[in-house]
Chains A and B, each alone.
Chain A
């Protein structure tokens, strides 16, 4: 009970802190509007060139909404991993360790506090963009929304723990910024942000399904445009599994890393 109170208070204070940056978050959404406009132009052209109403099982309307959902996950990402990375490298982490909490759970509570505000502002903008660019999402039923949100949140959380694991490698590597870059590109390609993985060659589709990247962006976005309880049950189970794997990995890296901590001087 004490633990829940402790970590929920971290979430609460992070939310309060995030509100200080509310207008900053909102202004970042200009990029969201811009990138979606580019996607709209691109896919309109592709559909026109192809002369068909469906590509890889997606209509233009579904494609735009799909891309909005993938962007929603990545744009709502917090920068906490950069903070953790910096703290480990500068030795500042030493000043965060002498409190009676689990550091990984502390970071997670912090993330929950920030993602709430970010997702909310991005969702509002995403909804407006979708309605203006593509119109109402076809075949959408309000009853599916809670499940779609759940899958979206799971995607965001997996994304957070992968980033946290990469940040914690700073305990061993002097410069780990390449890891973040590679991961973001993998999400962009294998995670289905550039295009749905249905458009990949069959062999790459098969591989992608075994990798965690699709469960960050592709799976929630696909569910949003083509929902079925069967695919939700299967995909969200795998999402939970990946979540467990990356949470355990973050805990392991943290415990090992702290023992290796070298903080010289004041």
Chain B
């Protein structure tokens, strides 16, 4: 009796293991499952030592230190699909980097579950590291005093890439990232833009399925930023790499991502397609109009936010006002020389969402 019970138990255990392995295989081979990152009710609490101000506080903290718990990530749930470029944004201290560190297995979650490519990052960090790449804009994985080629060769060995394959891969990346002429210059002699190009190339040497980019364009000038964005798009398109991007630069989000997850105080405050974000949050339009002569813009039907000489700046709430009527009114004021209707910058929308999340100030147009 007990023997048959044990056999049943073992069979069930084996079946369970088999199912788990099978589901992982499907993930890895890009089978039925589309979500390659699944985060459920993720929480991370840090214990931080606190100290009262002054000498008395310092003495007290030696004998009875006080600790405070900080909830860095609070019940975050999200999913990322294969091939997606996702923006993961939030103000400083919102919990972005902590979430990325948990997704890459660097930090252990306090509670909740994470599955990246079928792996549990905190338990299977090593296996997962073969499948993901990371670029932390402010940190470098290249050896400062040596040329990038040395770091590339080292990373190739760390990721167990065969010599022949590594050679080919480096050649390809040299071409894609236009870094061929930088390969023998010590990293310390490279400009920030050149270094970031090498950093991204280094992080995808092992052909990762997902790449986590944490503020990759920080500190770069507009031209180099644009170049990096083009490379990220190329990477996504040609290598089918899923991109998980955090950035404070709305240009990165606007030009690269189709969907954004906004977090604040460790919680998801918005998970929305960029175009929906624009539609939902862009009920306000700005009309810049220039007349041939000075006009009197005093009209109770117009919300004039700036008026100077022959130019007016008018804000229209399209959900409440008819833009056609506003335009008619404006045209009747005088002979129009130039007119521009624009949407609010994404930056303003994001800032508005942050404020909404904190229950802060009402949105104020700052154009």
Contact = CB atoms under 8 A, between A and B. Distances in A.
Contacts of A94: 101, 106-107
Given A9-B154, A98-B104, A259-B108, A264 B125 contact: no
A24 to B, nearest CB: 11
Contact of B141 (A5, A95, A174): A95
B145 A261 contact: no
Interface stretch (B92-100, B223-231, B269-277): B92-100
A98 B158 contact: no
Contact of B129 (A10, A99, A174): A99
Interface in A159-198: 174
Contacts of B215: 266
Contact of A13 (B49, B106, B107, B154): B154
A264 B46 contact: yes
Given A94-B106, A264-B70, A100 B150 contact: no
Contacts of A259: 108
B101 A13 contact: no
A259 to B, nearest CB: 6
Interface in A188-241: none
A2 B150 CA distance: 18
Given A16-B150, A17-B146, A92-B139, A266 B158 contact: no
Interface string A232-266: 00000000000000000000000000010111111
Please classify how large the interface on chain B is, using the bins under 10, 10 to 19, 20 to 34, 35 or more. Answer: 35 or more
Interface stretch (B35-43, B130-138, B288-296): B130-138
A13 B160 contact: no
A101 interface: yes
Nearest to B127: A100
B158 A99 contact: yes
Contacts of B46: 262, 264
What's the dominant secondary structure at chain B's contact region?
mixed
A261 B106 contact: yes
Given A264-B98, A266-B214, A100 B146 contact: no
Interface residues of A, number: 25
B129 A100 contact: yes
B47 interface: yes
A97 interface: yes
A6 to B, nearest CB: 5
A20 B145 contact: yes
A62 B98 CA distance: 58
B72 interface: yes
A95 B139 contact: yes
Contacts of A13: 143, 146, 150-151, 153-154
A98 B134 contact: yes
Interface string A1-32: 01001100110010011001000000000000
A262 B68 CA distance: 13
Instruction: Give me the 7 closest cross-chain CB pairs, A-B, nearest first.
Output: A9-B157, A266-B97, A20-B145, A100-B129, A94-B106, A2-B160, A95-B139
Interface of A: 2, 5-6, 9-10, 13, 16-17, 20, 92, 94-95, 97-101, 174, 259, 261-266
Given A98-B125, A262-B47, A263-B98, 14 more contacts: A6-B158, A10-B154, A17-B143, A97-B105, A97-B125, A100-B127, A100-B129, A100-B159, A259-B108, A263-B106, A264-B48, A265-B98, A266-B92, A266-B97
22 contacts: A5-B157, A6-B157, A9-B157, A13-B143, A16-B146, A94-B107, A95-B141, A97-B105, A98-B104, A98-B129, A98-B134, A99-B129, A100-B159, A100-B160, A174-B49, A263-B101, A263-B106, A263-B107, A264-B98, A265-B93, A266-B97, A266-B214
